[in-house]
Amino acid sequence: MTSATLLTPARTPSRPRGDRPGPAARADERAYIRLLAVLDTAVLAVAILVGYVARFGDEEPSGSEIPYVVVAPGLLLAWLISLRALRCYDDRVLGYGADEYRRISSASLRLAGGIAIAGYIADVGVSRGFLAISFAVGTVGLEVARFAARKRLHRARCRGAGWSRKVLVVGDTAHVLELVHTLRREPYAGYHVVGACIPDALLAPVPQRLGDVPVVGSFRGIPEAATAIGADTVAVTASGELTATRLRRLGWQLEGTGVDLVVAPALTDVAGPRIHTRPVAGLPLIHVEAPEFRGARKLVKGLVDRSLSFVALTLLLPVLVVIALAIKLDSRGPVLFRQVRVGQGGEEFGVFKFRTMVVNADALLAELAARNETDGLMFKMRDDPRVTRIGRLLRKWSLDELPQLVNVLFGQMSLVGPRPPLPSEVARYDGDVARRLLVKPGMTGLWQVSGRSDLSWEDGIRLDLYYVENWSLAADLTILWKTFGAVVNSRGAY
C-alpha cells in the first residue's frame, strides 16, 4: 500500500533572509506575497472603518485624548507590523496547511492584548467597543481573504501555473518514486518535481529517467544539480548511502544559495500533532504518540456529532420531504433503502439512504459484476443501469446520503470517519485494513473530499487508515468544510 510522505524542514544553519529567493528568481512567489499584503491592508482598513461606524455612527467621538484620525492609521500600521513580526508572509507556511491561519489569529490576538494592556497602563481613552469590533471583523476578514487567495493559487497550481516550488528529489529509486507519487497526488500543495539524484551505484552511462522524472546527478553533486535545473527546494528521502553526516554537509553546501532543504522521514501516514522532536545527546529524536481511540476527546466528538445531526435534520426536513416525494413519483418501491453495514468494533447496523436504484438491484448485481470499474472489494460502475432517473441526480449531489444523519443521531455513525463497509468486504479484510473498524464510520471523510469513486481501492483505504490514526476535531471541521466543495463539484460522484 502506497504511503503518504511527511515533509519536514531540515535543521540547517541560519542564513540571511535577503539571500532568498535564490537561483530560481521566484517572481511568482513575490507576486503572491505582494497580493497578500495588499489584501491584508484592504481588509484591515475596511475592518477599522466598520468598527468606527458601528461604534460611533454619525456621532462625534469623545473621551479620547488622541483623535481617531490618528488612532485608525496607527492601528492599521501596528496590525500590519504584527502580521509581519509573526511571519505571516513566510513562504514556508503560505499556500498549504493550517499554520498560515494560526499565525494570523495569533498576530491579531497578541496585538489586541498588547493594546488592551498598554491602554490600561497609559489610561488612554480609546473606545473598547471600537477596538473589539475592529479586531473581530479584521481577524475574520483576514482569514477569509487568505482562504480566497489560497483557493485561487490552488486552481492555478492544478493548471500547471502559479507559484510552485521546483523540487529536486534525492534518495533511493523506490523512495524517490514514492515521494514523487505523493507530491503529484496533491498538485495544489505546490511541490513540482523537476529532477532526481540517486546513489552513485545506480547511475548508468546513458541519461536515465524515473518514470518521467529525469535523473540529473548523484549524491556527490546535489547543489550543482539543483542549480542546473533551477530547483529552489531539495527534498531528501530515505537512502542507505545518505548518512547524517552527509545530510549535515548538504545543509552547509546549500547555505546562502536560496535553495531550501526539506527531509521526508521514513515515517508514513502520521500527522503532525502526533509527532514531537526532542533532542537527545545532540540527536533530534522524533517521538510518535499513540493514536487515541477513547477518552474525553472521543466523548466530545460524539456529542458534537449528535448535536449537529439533530440540527441538520431539523433544518433539512422540508428538503427530505421533497426528495421522498420525487423518489415515490419516479419509480416503484420504498423511499428509503436500508442496508447492513459494519460499524465500530465490527458491529453490524442498518444504514439509511434514499433509494437510488430499482427494487431488484441486488439480484441484477451478478449480471454486472464483470463490468466493475474499480479495483479492490467495492463494485462501482459509472453508468450503472440499475440507477433510476432521480437516483442519478441524488447521487450527483450526494443527497441520497442525507438519511444517514439518523444513523449519526443514533450513535451508529459519525459525521466524519471511514467509509462504512459491507459485511462481504469486511470478511475479506486483512489485519491492516481491519483497523478501519476501530472508529465509527462516517457520512463523509478523507475519501470523499479526495475524489470518492475516482479513487482506487488502495488510495481509499490509505486515506481511511490515515484518518483512523490521526483524527481530530479540527480535522473533522476541515473535512466537513471541504465536503461542501466536493459535493458542489460532483467530483467522483456516480
Query: Where does 150-274 show beta strands of DSSP type E?
Result: 165-170, 191-197, 209-210, 213-217, 233-236, 260-263
Pairing of strands 442-444, 414-416: parallel
Structure confidence at residue 367 as a pLDDT band (50, 70, 90): low
Long-range contacts of 177-181 (CB under 8 A, 24+ apart): 177/210, 177/211, 178/2, 178/3, 178/5, 178/237, 179/5, 179/235, 179/237, 179/264, 180/210, 180/211, 180/213, 181/2
Per-residue pLDDT reduced to its tens digit, 298-329:
899 999 999 999 999 999 999 999 999 999 99
Per-residue pLDDT reduced to its tens digit, 161-173:
878 889 999 998 8
Mean pLDDT of 366-383: 59
pLDDT at 50: 94
174's grid cell? 523506490
pLDDT at 368: 62
Residue limits of CATH 3.40.50 in the chain: 165-268
Provide the phi-psi class of 247: left if phi over 0, else alpha when psi is between -120 and 50, else beta.
alpha
Decide: residue 320, CB within 10 A, 0-12 exposed, 13-18 middle, 19+ buried: middle
pLDDT at 69: 82
Biggest CA–CA distance in the chain, Å, is 84
Q: Does the predicted TM-score (pTM) go above 0.75?
A: no
Per-residue pLDDT reduced to its tens digit, 231-260:
989 999 888 788 878 888 998 999 888 888
pLDDT at 95: 87
Structure confidence at residue 294 as a pLDDT band (50, 70, 90): confident
pLDDT at 280: 63
Least confident among 312-326, 380-394, 398-412: 380-394
Name the CATH topology of 165-268: Rossmann fold (3.40.50)
Contacting residues for 384 by C-beta, under 8 A, at least 6 apart: 357, 368, 494
pLDDT at 435: 85
**Numbers of helices and strands, H then E, in the chain:** 15, 13
Structure confidence at residue 273 as a pLDDT band (50, 70, 90): low
